[in-house]
Amino acid sequence: MILTLTPNPSVDQTIALAEPLERGAVHRVATTTTQAGGKGVNISRASVCAGVPSVAVLPAHREDPFVLELLAAGVDCRPVAPAGPVRVNVTIAEPDGTTTKLNSPGPEAGPEVLDALAAAMVRHAAAATWVVLAGSLPPGAPVDWYAGMAADLRGRGAQVAVDTSDAPLKALVDALPDAAPHLMKPNADELASFTGDDAATLERDPAAAAAAAYQLVARGVDTVLATLGGHGAVLLAREADGSVCAWHATPPPTTVVSTVGAGDSSLFGFLLGRLRGLAPADCLALGVAYGSAAAGLPGTTIPLPDQVRPDLVVVRPVPFTRGDS
């Protein structure tokens, strides 16, 4: 079972334009889609589509349409009393796949909400194989809240994955190795935020991305899945003998419709491979295949298993420079 935490969920509204976005202009909207979303929610949705049990913990009223939508989709949603209404995030999608995101901050969460979320995660963690802490933190949450959660949950049997950015990511990195999760999933921008590298270089250079990701492995993280947009992903994994191996996966040709949620699908695909007992390189291929399939779908639509083609993903070992060598 995959247990997900989305402490700052969102109603994701995607507005698809029929022409490139121009500031100050009037545009005709081709389509509009609205979905209950958030990183953890997206992973739980993907789990349901793949037939993998999942429990989604998030702050929302039980009768909120957000919760009812997830329940109707088959997601085992375990809401806790929220600090306020679920925020709305808007994505503007252009015909060439370029997306502009307008993310709301969400309601301010006090200790009561945060304690309720933490208690719910502890309550369900014993039955989980993987626990995923994902997305931004709500206003009012300490920036090191994920770091504390990762340290606590790692000792409860399940493997812990974290996918976050900005101040919560920095706080987690600063708390390594004590708060080291089993898996982290940064993208190129997030890697660059704490390594000081150029994000564009990391995205196009697998060896540079692997060297940057190794900084996390060297500080106690077992596995790093670094997503690189249209350039695929790099995986670093610590082997049983303590050695570290790296692979780069190149995605199949994809007509990009929306990149929103593609990283979440990549993370789920990788976790699905782990649940199936696949080798690390095959887990990487499945993750990149899921992300590519999601990028070819509108809004935050989760790909179905028959839309995912890991056989079209090319995986190669990556030589890289270790910072401690």
Chain centroid to CA 221: 16
Looking only at Cα atoms, what is the longest distance across the chain?
60
Q: How far apart are CA 251 and CA 216, in angstroms?
A: 24
Contact between residue 166 and residue 142 where contact means Cβ atoms under 8 Å apart: no
Neighbouring C-beta atoms of residue 112, cutoff 10 Å: 11
Q: What angle do CA 144, 206, 99 make, to 5 degrees?
A: 65
DSSP E strands in 176-313: the ranges are 183-184, 223-227, 233-238, 244-250
Q: How far apart are CA 15 and CA 13, in angstroms?
A: 7
The residue written with tokens 């509204």 in the block is 13
Annotated catalytic residue 306: no
For the record, the structure tokens of 273 come out as 């491979």
Long-range CB pairs of 73-77 (<8 Å, 24+ gap) are 73/45, 73/48, 74/48, 75/41, 75/44, 75/45, 75/48, 76/44, 77/44
Which one, of 258, 263, 296, 230, lies nearest residue 17 by Cα? 258
Q: Which amino acid is at 251?
A: P
Tell me which DSSP letter residue 187 carries: B
For the record, the structure tokens of 227 come out as 């997503």
Kindly name the residue from 264, 282, 311, 324 that is annotated as catalytic: 264
Which residues carry out catalysis? 264
